[in-house]
Structure 1
């Protein structure tokens, strides 16, 4: 048996100088690929955050949980979890980047002075975003396809039946492989989306990601503002339905307390929302009372207060999850981007600016555009309780079809989604690419090939096992929620307890024109980790211990749509762990300063 590299002494303490030289060369090389300025990094980080989560998932969750109460919970989670975790990532990332590391395992290894445990914990922040790209690319392809359909076949969205038929057939929900084997072009669109993303990250940080963000983030903002103005000018599109208006939509989205007219389903016995009544509108109140009295008990008036909404633990879990997705915090994306920032760059203000840009798009634009448009054309009943995909790909296309110049505004909406998706997906792929370059020692071209192989394989698996979107739901359950929560907790423990919150905030304020409020020392050390742990344990209890979530049940039944995607994810995880263990660069710690 041939002696191992460890037995040969290649990774022994005597050869520490060898690793010092490697790290120095790597650090020198990293300096050649960095952000050209503050605006570039802000736009890129904002672009990684402004994605499908803003324009689809956020409005969908707001509609599902009644609007106002969700907004309150989301705001609290933003202040107590989102901003602290974002600042922690900025600080950790830039500090690690100055040592020559550009991915979480390397950054954690340097900051903990060679801890193997922390190096392996850092793999979570590579696995999460680079694997989420597997199903994110598929949704990105849907957006491209819908953009083309809105331009060439707007008539298919004229009715609810036509819209549903289009969604089920285009996405392949009817059965595994039905989308890729059909003639709707999804296979070619998926391939094009993957090549586009690989092409951008191949060009590097400044010439690829930053240049794309500088051009397309302003275009994204312009398109979203055009759509917002058009939608806010709709008013009441059908006078025969006075309860279907933009005013009602905004009220449903933002009012913390509501008076709802509900109707009982004859088959299931469940009460479903029919319309919302404004307590200040006397005529609407009288009409609602009259309808309830004449319904023979099949309708009722229900007052939903802010407290009623906030008592729902699922709402808080959804709000926290949305903060992670919309701000890209706890995922390793910001850490990787921050590692390419110059030493004296103002990362405290850049972090706030990127978060503020994201909230403008999410709350200020998407929150006033998506759900109100659905309510104006389809009523509260058409928007209430709708999930992410139903609202974005079935409800809104109907709304645009009923709008004047539907081809223009409908296609603009899906162009907006496509651009937003690309700015996010390139950041996910950059995390994996940085890991491959750093730990495998590959040059950019070969690293892109390796990253492209895993991304293409994972994406095609999700696109193939499309029946009831089981593969996508399985990945989203384990990666988009479970992995991100754990990764965020790891980062906050590292920042606040392992390294020390005072040292971390001092690094954060280095070169900054603002000072972090002192209250955040307490929040980042105690409040944020406690909230993360509490929400995570509650999520586990609800989805595993009390009632098993659908992906877990599917795995238990051995369904291919869950087992095969998880098998590939397990193989990819083992690959990351093996490369982390075998890499010669991070074997012996040396102080780079």
Structure 2
């Protein structure tokens, strides 16, 4: 077997998962995050209810899974972080896309930790329902002490109640990452994912027996097939699948690079994709059962409730529901506990993208790289630990997710499939090492269907942000925190490929070799 020859001394030898189960649990841990719990149910409800599952499944098959496979193929074949693997595939142009993705991941980590801090705080608050009779006022006022985004979008007024759990979340995350791929990342996911599933199933079962739960489920699953004629519903489906699978911003490239060379990539990918989707549907059942109960208690319809998704659902609506529920303290603890666990596994994967990239580029040890990303922790604490934390989180999230990740995916697919024409090679690689074969249809979906839909989503979002601003926040602030985030990622994509690698990244031989791939699809 022809093996890759590592460059002398600098690019660290790749760590490896212990096996298929470890990789799958880590990949599921990355994919199952906050968006599964608080975004999918609301998007589905507003986009045709039960009928939304049709475009959702179509989007999963035609874009979600193909790009997930693309990430796997790049990481597994070229054995590196996003910049290293894409450099070996597409030269400095590919490396630039890799650094764009790494920067987006770093920006997401900065604010994502803030949500974990909130969830951890609310886990504690649940036992005595500290939010009282006005959960919305408590969250925005007493807890976050949020400033006005139109007049004072940034302040240095630190909020101890947020600052302390924020620091703790960073410490926990960095300790796990410092322990390594197997002893840290894999071990954490092996423990957390089963615990998360058990806790969330318990939460859903509890919700199903609440008065009004069936009415909530009826609202969630009743299909509105007329909605399928609305292009916006299909765009929402593609957007949900794309964002929920942790694809196209370096995570799955990095995770796939830690797999052994003889590994079943597509089979594991299908398990991850459908496991993630199953969790989303389970979340929809749990969320709308509780919303049905809340509507029943208020004597209104589910559609008349406010805060059906996102931060509003988690930290305003759900605490209000807990206050109405018998034994609500334990239910609240279960909900915010699962929110914290789901977010933690996702945050670990996001930061691993950054750690792997700087280790590959600069020849650092893991300890040095983890210490280096302490800078992100400082920035996160300064931004999210103040009274302007909610505004910072909201703004950076809007631009990095809806502009940065989408743009990175578009450029990656176009460069890999059309500019460098490596689709056939990657297709053969996946088929050579996996039980589930891919071929020309996969290349077509990855290189044409997926980028076409994503370009539509990106252009629509850019026009909206450019013409309407966002949430009434100050224009200068949106320029710095929003457009500035994308500008920083672009700058990284231009400058970092010009920085000399500690060792030659191109001293590498892919396996199976191109010659081997020509022989019966590369079968060993």
Q: Same fold (TM over 0.5)?
A: yes
| Residues 135-146 of structure 1: pairs in structure 2 closer than 5 A | 135-146=111-122
Give the SS at the match of 1:413. Answer: helix
Give the SS at the match of 2:373. Answer: helix
2-side partners of 1:368 and 1:331: how far apart?
29
Please tell me whether residue 79 in structure 1 is matched to residue 61 in structure 2. Answer: yes
Please tell me whether residue 424 in structure 1 is matched to residue 346 in structure 2. Answer: yes
Quick check: 1:63–1:253 contact (8 Å CA) kept in 2?
yes
2-side partners of 1:190 and 1:569: how far apart?
25
Task: Check 1:568–1:328 CA distance in 2 against 1; reply closer, same or farther (3 A cut).
Answer: closer
Task: Check 1:381–1:255 CA distance in 2 against 1; reply closer, same or farther (3 A cut).
Answer: closer
Quick check: 2:214–2:292 contact (8 Å CA) kept in 1?
no
Task: Check 1:570–1:519 CA distance in 2 against 1; reply closer, same or farther (3 A cut).
Answer: closer
1-side partners of 2:367 and 2:239: how far apart?
35
1-side partners of 2:450 and 2:181: how far apart?
31
1-side partners of 2:288 and 2:406: how far apart?
28
| Residues 171-210 of structure 1: pairs in structure 2 closer than 5 A | 171-175=144-148, 181-183=158-160, 185-210=161-186
Task: Check 1:519–1:139 CA distance in 2 against 1; reply closer, same or farther (3 A cut).
Answer: same
The one-character-per-residue Cα deviations of 1:439-465 (angstroms, maximum 9, x if unpaired) are 122222221111121243145314436
| Residues 154-169 of structure 1: pairs in structure 2 closer than 5 A | 154=129, 156-157=131-132, 159=133, 161-169=134-142
> Could you tell me the TM-score, scaled by structure 2's length?
0.87
2-side partners of 1:427 and 1:211: how far apart?
13
420-429 vs 401-410, which moves further: 401-410
Please tell me whether residue 337 in structure 1 is matched to residue 255 in structure 2. Answer: yes
324-333 vs 528-537, which moves further: 528-537
The structural deviation recorded for 1:562 is: 6.0
2-side partners of 1:367 and 1:229: how far apart?
13
What is the root-mean-square deviation of aligned Cα atoms in Å?
Answer: 2.7
561-570 vs 165-174, which moves further: 561-570
Give the SS at the match of 2:270. Answer: helix
2-side partners of 1:548 and 1:576: how far apart?
28
The one-character-per-residue Cα deviations of 1:40-86 (angstroms, maximum 9, x if unpaired) are 00000000011101111222323444533544333322221111100
Unmatched 5+ stretches in structure 2: 296-300, 511-524
> Could you tell me the TM-score, scaled by structure 1's length?
0.77
Match of 1:477 among 385, 392, 398: 398
Please tell me whether residue 373 in structure 1 is matched to residue 290 in structure 2. Answer: yes
Give the SS at the match of 1:77. Answer: helix
The structural deviation recorded for 1:578 is: 4.0
Task: Check 1:578–1:494 CA distance in 2 against 1; reply closer, same or farther (3 A cut).
Answer: closer
Please tell me whether residue 487 in structure 1 is matched to residue 418 in structure 2. Answer: no
Quick check: 1:87–1:351 contact (8 Å CA) kept in 2?
yes
2-side partners of 1:145 and 1:527: how far apart?
42
1-side partners of 2:228 and 2:129: how far apart?
38
The one-character-per-residue Cα deviations of 1:507-527 (angstroms, maximum 9, x if unpaired) are 112222222376434323322
2-side partners of 1:162 and 1:490: how far apart?
43
Task: Check 1:584–1:500 CA distance in 2 against 1; reply closer, same or farther (3 A cut).
Answer: closer
Task: Check 1:571–1:127 CA distance in 2 against 1; reply closer, same or farther (3 A cut).
Answer: closer
Unmatched 5+ stretches in structure 1: 1-19, 238-244, 258-305
Task: Check 1:439–1:145 CA distance in 2 against 1; reply closer, same or farther (3 A cut).
Answer: same
**Which residue is 2:39 aligned to?**
57
1-side partners of 2:235 and 2:163: how far apart?
35
Quick check: 2:28–2:276 contact (8 Å CA) kept in 1?
yes
Quick check: 1:73–1:319 contact (8 Å CA) kept in 2?
yes
**Which residue is 2:516 aligned to?**
none
Please tell me whether residue 550 in structure 1 is matched to residue 470 in structure 2. Answer: yes
Quick check: 1:163–1:394 contact (8 Å CA) kept in 2?
yes
Task: Check 1:202–1:317 CA distance in 2 against 1; reply closer, same or farther (3 A cut).
Answer: same
The structural deviation recorded for 1:499 is: 3.7
**Which residue is 1:307 aligned to?**
226
Please tell me whether residue 30 in structure 1 is matched to residue 8 in structure 2. Answer: no
The structural deviation recorded for 1:200 is: 0.8
The structural deviation recorded for 1:473 is: 2.3
The one-character-per-residue Cα deviations of 1:332-367 (angstroms, maximum 9, x if unpaired) are 11001001111111011111111122112111x101
The structural deviation recorded for 1:117 is: 1.8
Give the SS at the match of 1:156. Answer: coil
The structural deviation recorded for 1:482 is: 0.6
Quick check: 2:263–2:434 contact (8 Å CA) kept in 1?
yes
Larger Rg: 1 or 2?
1
**Which residue is 1:531 aligned to?**
453
The one-character-per-residue Cα deviations of 1:528-567 (angstroms, maximum 9, x if unpaired) are 22222232223333333xx33317x746x324x7636766
The one-character-per-residue Cα deviations of 1:256-298 (angstroms, maximum 9, x if unpaired) are 22xxxxxxxxxxxxxxxxxxxxxxxxxxxxxxxxxxxxxxxxx
Please tell me whether residue 246 in structure 1 is matched to residue 213 in structure 2. Answer: yes
Match of 1:390 among 304, 312, 334: 312
The structural deviation recorded for 1:118 is: 1.9
Task: Check 1:343–1:390 CA distance in 2 against 1; reply closer, same or farther (3 A cut).
Answer: same
Task: Check 1:343–1:321 CA distance in 2 against 1; reply closer, same or farther (3 A cut).
Answer: same
The one-character-per-residue Cα deviations of 1:317-341 (angstroms, maximum 9, x if unpaired) are 4333322221101121100100111
Match of 1:104 among 82, 89, 95: 82
The one-character-per-residue Cα deviations of 1:455-489 (angstroms, maximum 9, x if unpaired) are 4314531443627x322222112211111111111
Aligned length: 497
Quick check: 2:47–2:227 contact (8 Å CA) kept in 1?
no
The structural deviation recorded for 1:388 is: 0.9
Quick check: 1:94–1:338 contact (8 Å CA) kept in 2?
yes
